């Protein structure tokens, strides 16, 4: 349990630093660009974000589980997952660019932005060493690499602001620089501890079983959290305005932190849950009970906190021009409550190889939402 707690602290500390850099620097960027230009940048991210979950093919939890259960086949698992995820990343990058040309061909800046964010998706999904360290509950190495990339990205954004370069394309490219630096650093860590990359090999026998389990995660990644948040941004831009999209993006940037807490907690506990189920799968609910209690406390605290301080937080970070984002922020926090339990359900179903149930549960929830 100590290793789980340490791993969780590392993951959460990264998010805290990312909030400090991302929100503070992001708020500075938002002030510098203004709601309209910031809305354009956010819309391009949302455009790619709608289909981005398809790039990883929903394989993350499944690959981590297999790395734990089959240590003798790790090189084969890593090689196969790299090939599959690289193909998915390239496909999403090209699809994003094609969509940009079709829907925004008249807007050169938007095409560039969507193309850049599409390439960013590819860089994210080929980060296979991240999965290796997660399976070992050693996310400290991943966090350190991400922080290095974050500092580089923040430095570039500050430079653009200081020198008055009000180009949304350059701000988007700062994110690419972050991913390239992070990938390079984590690869250096991996070379000193993981199976040699030269030993990675592709084995087609994994494809059918993995994709049979992962397809619900591919679809739920679109229909779930990402869809409900990012599609709103796209609709705000098309039905409303870039100003409305910027307001929503500002609230979402703050709210996302609270969505990551249960995700990091369950990600840290996942390897120990898999190990536990090797010997006593019947008592899995008992093993997860302390985590459920923690999630309940986090949920109650977050709703109470933002009910009181959402206005102050938005005005402090973004200024009075974003004051309408306070109410949006509160309701995004309220919506996080059922999402927390979704992360627990995800762990249970992956361990028992019943991922299709998760898709069914989400579809029922979306049906209620659409009919209400």
pLDDT of residue 367: 65
Q: What is the mean pLDDT of residues 53-71?
A: 83
Distances (CA, A) of 16 to 30, 91, 312: 19, 32, 19
Is the predicted pLDDT of residue 233 greater than 60, yes or no? no
pLDDT of residue 281: 58
Concatenated DSSP letters of 221-285: HHHTHHHHHHHHHHHIIIII-HHHHHHHHHHHHHHHHHHHHHHHHHHHHHHHHHHHHHHHGGGHH
Nearest CA to 258 out of 147, 366, 337, 362 is that of 337
Q: What is the mean pLDDT of residues 206-216?
A: 81
Rounded to whole angstroms, how far apart are CA atoms 328 and 244?
Answer: 11
Report angle CA 323, 328, 331 to the nearest 5 degrees. 140
pLDDT of residue 10: 83
φ, ψ of residue 70 in degrees (nearest 5):
-130, 70
- Higher-confidence residue of 2 and 55: namely 55
pLDDT of residue 237: 52
pLDDT of residue 230: 47
Least confident of 7-21, 95-109, 116-130, 331-345: 331-345
In percent, the amount of the chain with pLDDT more than 90 equals 2
Q: What is the mean pLDDT of residues 251-277?
A: 76
- Higher-confidence residue of 257 and 73: namely 73
pLDDT of residue 181: 92
Q: What is the mean pLDDT of residues 191-220?
A: 80
* Structure confidence at residue 357 as a pLDDT band (50, 70, 90): confident
* Structure confidence at residue 244 as a pLDDT band (50, 70, 90): low
Mean pLDDT of the residues in the chain: 79
In percent, the amount of the chain with pLDDT more than 70 equals 85
- pLDDT tens column, 287-334: 677 777 777 788 788 888 888 888 888 888 777 778 888 888 888 888
* Structure confidence at residue 371 as a pLDDT band (50, 70, 90): low
Nearest CA to 255 out of 341, 200, 325, 354 is that of 325
For 200, which DSSP code?
A: -
Is the predicted pLDDT of residue 239 greater than 50, yes or no? no
* Structure confidence at residue 344 as a pLDDT band (50, 70, 90): confident
This prediction's pTM = 0.74
- pLDDT tens column, 117-148: 888 888 888 888 888 888 888 888 888 998 99
């Amino acid at each position: 349990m100590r290793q789980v707690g340490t791993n969780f602290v590392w993951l959460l500390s990264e998010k805290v630093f990312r909030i400090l850099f991302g929100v503070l620097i992001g708020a500075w960027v938002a002030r510098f660009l203004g709601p309209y230009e910031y809305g354009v940048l956010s819309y391009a991210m949302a455009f790619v974000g709608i289909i981005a979950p398809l790039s990883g093919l929903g394989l993350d939890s499944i690959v981590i589980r297999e790395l734990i259960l089959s240590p003798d086949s790790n090189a084969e698992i890593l090689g196969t997952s790299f090939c599959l995820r690289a193909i998915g990343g390239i496909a999403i990058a090209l699809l994003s660019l094609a969509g940009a040309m079709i829907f925004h061909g008249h807007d050169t800046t938007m095409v560039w932005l969507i193309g850049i964010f599409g390439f960013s998706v590819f860089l994210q999904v080929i980060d296979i060493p991240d999965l290796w360290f997660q399976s070992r509950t050693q996310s400290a190495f991943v966090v350190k690499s991400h922080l290095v990339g974050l500092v580089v990205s923040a430095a570039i954004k500050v430079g653009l602001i200081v020198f008055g370069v009000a180009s949304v394309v350059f701000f988007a490219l700062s994110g690419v620089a972050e991913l390239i630096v992070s990938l390079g650093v984590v690869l250096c860590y991996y070379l000193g501890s993981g199976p040699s990359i030269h030993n990675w090999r592709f084995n087609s026998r994994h494809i059918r079983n993995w994709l049979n389990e992962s397809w619900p995660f591919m679809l739920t990644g679109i229909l779930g959290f990402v869809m409900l948040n990012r599609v709103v941004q796209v609709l705000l831009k098309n039905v409303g305005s870039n100003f409305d999209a910027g307001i929503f993006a500002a609230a979402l940037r703050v709210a996302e932190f609270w969505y990551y807490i249960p995700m990091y907690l369950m990600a840290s506990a996942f390897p120990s849950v898999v190990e536990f189920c090797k010997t006593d799968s019947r008592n899995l609910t008992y093993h997860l009970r302390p985590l459920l209690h923690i999630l309940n406390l986090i949920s109650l605290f977050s709703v109470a906190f933002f009910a009181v301080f959402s206005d102050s937080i938005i005005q402090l970070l973004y200024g009075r021009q974003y004051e309408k984002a306070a109410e949006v922020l509160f309701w995004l926090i309220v919506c996080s409550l059922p999402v927390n339990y979704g992360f627990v359900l995800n762990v249970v179903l992956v361990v028992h190889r019943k991922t299709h149930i998760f898709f069914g549960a989400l579809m029922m929830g979306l049906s209620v939402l659409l009919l209400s």
